Homo-oligomer: A and B are copies of this chain.
Amino acid sequence: MASDHTRSAILAAAERLYADRGFGDVTLRDIVAEANVNLAAVNYHFGSKDELIAELFVTRSLATNRERLNELKAAEEAGGGRASIEAIMHALVGPTLRGCLGPDREGSTAARFMIRASIESVPPIRRIKNREVDHLRKFVAAMRRSLPGRDDAELYWGLHFALAMSHHTIREKERLTKLSEGQCDLNDVNAIVERVVTVSVMALTGGEPAKKAPARSMAPPYGRLTRQDL
């Protein structure tokens, strides 16, 4: 057991370097140099480079998931077991967006690391992401409670688009700034969250203010929908 000093120094240095320069060109030697520890320490404490990356990513995404679920649970309790669809989407995209776009929170290293993880998609991280389905299903369940009668496929598409907008905003933050020549304010995180939530809710409810709308409303003007369940 002992001090753990080396172990956490490696974790901190690795996260910092990965956040700054991406997974592609950060070697174990870079990491141990930054952490002032011996090269062999990585394999001693983590087993392999991939396991080090996995541990970093698991830690951070567990934290985000916990935050999301807390927000969801709070919203459902406040609504007597049924949260508004706005609140649900807010809980879904808020923590991630705040974490990755927000101002320095613990030096924002964690945030920048998660951005990299979302951009570069290295094998150990991809493996973990594929097990995130269960977590998302909890949101689908909440959405089902909030919008009863709505087709399940519609719920999945709404969730999918919400994640699309928030992840893409994180990934392409720089590009959007450049494209819009600074006209899109990427610093006001709350405004961005509201923007994403608003569009997501519109996608799910078809533009109406989202008060228990009758049923499927996002049906495209033409072109068939899913035909699974006729």
Q: Which residues of A contact B (CB under 8 A)?
A: 24, 119-123, 129-130, 133, 136-137, 140, 152-153, 156-157, 159-161, 163-165, 167-169, 172, 175-176, 178-180, 182-185, 188, 190-191, 193-195, 197-199, 202-203, 206-208, 218, 220-229
Contact = CB atoms under 8 A, between A and B. Distances in A.
B180 A153 contact: yes
A-B residue pairs, 7 tightest by C-beta: A207-B207, A164-B168, A194-B220, A156-B180, A194-B223, A185-B226, A191-B223
A172 B162 CA distance: 13
Given A121-B121, A152-B180, 12 more contacts: A24-B123, A129-B175, A133-B178, A152-B183, A153-B184, A156-B176, A159-B179, A164-B167, A194-B222, A199-B199, A202-B202, A206-B207
A26 to B, nearest CB: 14
- Report how many copies the assembly holds: 2
Contacts of A202: 199, 202-203, 206-207
B221 A185 contact: no
Contacts of A157: 184, 195
Interface centre among A123, A188, A198 (most CB of B within 10 A): A198
Contacts of A185: 153, 225-228
A133 B220 contact: no
A161 B156 contact: no
A129 to B, nearest CB: 8
A172 B227 CA distance: 21
Nearest to A200: B199
Nearest to A161: B165
Nearest to A168: B164
B184 A223 contact: no
A183 B137 contact: no
7 contacts: A121-B121, A140-B179, A164-B164, A164-B169, A195-B220, A206-B207, A207-B207
A185 B225 CA distance: 8
Contacts of A193: 223
A135 to B, nearest CB: 10
